[in-house]
C-alpha cells in the first residue's frame, strides 16, 4: 500500500517557491529519510501533507484513500509547558476523546519516560530529548499508521539520539510508517529504509537503503609528483584499477592502501601522500547537488 503519494505538490510564499512540483511515494512500512539543507523545503512539505497548510498546486493522497490516522511532530513539540507529562497526555487525550490513564502510562513507558508517570516535574524543565519523546507519545494517542517527524534528533545528546533511534525502530516494527527529516545524516542512515533528497524545493532523488549503500563507495586519495601523474594513471590503467583523476590527486576505488603503494613503488613512482576515504551519505548528497554552495 502507498501510505503517501504526492503529484506535483507545490507551495509558494510570494515569489519564493518553497516546495516545487514534488512527486513522492512512501510505501507501507517505510522509514523514509527526508534529506535537504536548511531552507530546502522539508518542513514546508511536512506541513503540507499533514494538513497544516494548503498547497498552491499539485495533489497528495494518504493510504490510497482509506481512512487511517496520521501523526506529526513538526519543529518543536507542542507541549503545555506548565503541565507534567501525564497532564499533557490527559489534555491531548481529552481533545481526541481518548482519556485513558493506563494507556497514557503505557505510552510514557514506550517512549522511555516511565519515570515521569508520577512526577510533578513540568514540561518546561524537561530536556530537549524528553520533550521530543513526549511529543511523540502525544502523537501516538491518535493511534497513527503514519508518523511525520521534523528533525527529531536535532540538538539531542548522544544518549537522546540513541533513545530516539531505538524508539523509531520499535514503532516501525509495530506497523507505523515514517517520514523523517533530519540534518543528522549519519544517524538517519541507521534507521531509514528509503530516502528522498530535496534541494531548493525540488525532490532530486529517491533511493532505497540498499541502492544508497551500493552508491556510497570508499576510495583512496593518492598524491604523486606532478611530473608522475600521467605515469601513475597509465600504471593504474594497465593494472585494471578503477580510478579517476581529481585535480592533482588520483582517486582509486576498491583497492587496499598497501597494494596501491606497492604497485607505484615497483614502477618507481614516489607517493607524496595517500589517504583512505570512507564514502558517506553526506558526500552522496553533496555530489547530488553539485558540492557545497
pLDDT band at 293 (very low <50, low <70, confident <90, very high): very low
Max intra-chain CA distance, the chain: 79
CB of 75 closer than 8 Å to CB of 19: no
Region 86-100: mean pLDDT is 92
The per-residue pLDDT of the chain, averaged, comes to: 91
> For the ranges 145-149, 175-179, 281-285, which has the lowest average pLDDT?
281-285
Q: Is residue 291 part of a domain?
A: no
pLDDT at position 81 is: 94
Q: How many structural domains compose the chain?
A: 2
Q: Which three cell numbers stand for residue 279?
A: 564514502
pLDDT digits (tens, 9 = 90+) for 237-278: 999 898 888 778 898 877 888 899 999 999 999 998 988 877
Is residue 153 located within the same domain as residue 255? no
Is residue 108 located within the same domain as residue 37? yes
Is residue 243 located within the same domain as residue 149? no
pLDDT at position 84 is: 97
pLDDT above 80 (res 173): yes
Q: Is residue 284 part of a domain?
A: no
Is residue 74 located within the same domain as residue 49? yes
Is residue 196 located within the same domain as residue 233? no
pLDDT above 60 (res 292): no
CA distance 228 to 18: 49
Q: Is residue 190 part of a domain?
A: yes
Region 120-141: mean pLDDT is 95
Q: Is the pTM of this model over 0.85?
A: no
Tell me phi and psi for residue 8, to 5 degrees: 65, 30
- Residue ranges with strand state E in the chain: 2-13, 16-22, 25-27, 31-35, 57-62, 70-73, 146-150, 177-181, 194-199, 202-208, 219-224, 242-246, 249-253, 271-277
Give residue 241's domain range: 219-277
pLDDT above 60 (res 203): yes
CA distance 208 to 193: 6
Region 113-121: mean pLDDT is 96
pLDDT above 80 (res 279): no
CA distance 261 to 258: 5
pLDDT at position 144 is: 96
pLDDT above 50 (res 179): yes
Which CATH number does the domain housing residue 16 bear? Answer: 3.40.50.300
Is residue 159 located within the same domain as residue 243? no
Neighbours of 14 (CB within 10 A): 5
pLDDT digits (tens, 9 = 90+) for 34-82: 999 888 999 999 999 999 999 999 999 999 989 999 999 998 788 999 9
Q: SS3 of 210, please?
A: helix
Neighbours of 103 (CB within 10 A): 15
CA distance 72 to 268: 62
Task: Give the count of alpha carbons within 13 A of 243, CB side only.
Answer: 25
pLDDT at position 291 is: 56
Amino acid at each position: 500500500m502507498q501510505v503517501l503519494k504526492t503529484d506535483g505538490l507545490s507551495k509558494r510564499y510570494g515569489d519564493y517557491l518553497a516546495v516545487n512540483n514534488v512527486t513522492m511515494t512512501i510505501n507501507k512500512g517505510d522509514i523514509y529519510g527526508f534529506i535537504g539543507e536548511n531552507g530546502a523545503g522539508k518542513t514546508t512539505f511536512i506541513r503540507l501533507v499533514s494538513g497544516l497548510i494548503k498547497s498552491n498546486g499539485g495533489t497528495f493522497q494518504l493510504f490510497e484513500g482509506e481512512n487511517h490516522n496520521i501523526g506529526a511532530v513538526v519543529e518543536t513539540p507542542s507541549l503545555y509547558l506548565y503541565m507534567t507529562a501525564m497532564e499533557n497526555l490527559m489534555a491531548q487525550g481529552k481533545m481526541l476523546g481518548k482519556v485513558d490513564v493506563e494507556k497514557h502510562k503505557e505510552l510514557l513507558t514506550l517512549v522511555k519516560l516511565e519515570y515521569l508517570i508520577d512526577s510533578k516535574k513540568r514540561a518546561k524543565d524537561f530536556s530537549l530529548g524528553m520533550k521530543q519523546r513526549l511529543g511523540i507519545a502525544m502523537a501516538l494517542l491518535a493511534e497513527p499508521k503514519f508518523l511525520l517527524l521534523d528533525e527529531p534528533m536535532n540538538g539531542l545528546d548522544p544518549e537522546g539520539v540513541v533513545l530516539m533511534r531505538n524508539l523509531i525502530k520499535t514503532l516501525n516494527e509495530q506497523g507505523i510508517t515514517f517520514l523523517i527529516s533530519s540534518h543528522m545524516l549519519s544517524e538517519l542512515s541507521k534507521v531509514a529504509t528509503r530516502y528522498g533528497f530535496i534541494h531548493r524545493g525540488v525532490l532530486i532523488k529517491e533511493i532505497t537503503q540498499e541502492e544508497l549503500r551500493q552508491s556510497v563507495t570508499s576510495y583512496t586519495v593518492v598524491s604523486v609528483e606532478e611530473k608522475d601523474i600521467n605515469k601513475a594513471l597509465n600504471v593504474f590503467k594497465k593494472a585494471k584499477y578503477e580510478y579517476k583523476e581529481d585535480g592533482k590527486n588520483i582517486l582509486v576505488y576498491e583497492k587496499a592502501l598497501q597494494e596501491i603503494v606497492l604497485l607505484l613503488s615497483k614502477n618507481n613512482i614516489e607517493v607524496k601522500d595517500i589517504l583512505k576515504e570512507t564514502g558517506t551519505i553526506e558526500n552522496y548528497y553533496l555530489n547530488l547537488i553539485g558540492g557545497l554552495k
